[in-house]
Structure 1
Amino acid sequence: MKTKRALYLILLLTVLGLGAHSCFQDLDQNPPFDYPEEPPKPPISEDGQLFHMAFEDNFRDASSNKELTVIGTPGFSEGKVNRAYSGATNSYLTFRLSDMPAQLGSAITVGFWYKVNANPDRAGIVVVSPPSEGAPANAQNNRTSGFRIFREDAGGKQRIKANVGNGTADSWLDGAEKADIDPAIAPWKYITLVITTGKALFYIDGEEVASTDLSAISWAGCDILSIGSGEPRFNEWGHLSDNSLIDELRIYNRALTAAQIKEIINHDSE
Structure 2
Amino acid sequence: MNLPIITDLHFYAVAVPAVLMLGVSKSGFGAGFGSLAVPLMALAVTVPEAAAILMPVLLLMDLLGIAAFRRDFDRRLLWFLIPCGLVGTVIGALLFKALPAHTVAGIVGVFTLLFLAQRVLFPPRPSDPLPSKTAGAVLTTISGFTSFIAHAGGPPVTAYVVPLRLSPVAYTATMAYFFFVVNLSKWVPYAWLGLLDWRNMATSLVLLPIAPLGVWVGIRIARRIDPAWFYRFVYLGMLLTGLKLTWDGFIA
Same fold (TM over 0.5): no
TM-score of the superposed pair, with normalisation by structure 1:
0.30
**Structure (1 or 2) with the greater strand fraction:** 1
> In terms of Rg, which structure is larger?
1
**Structure (1 or 2) with the greater helix fraction:** 2
Higher RCO (C-alpha 8 Å, min separation 6):
2
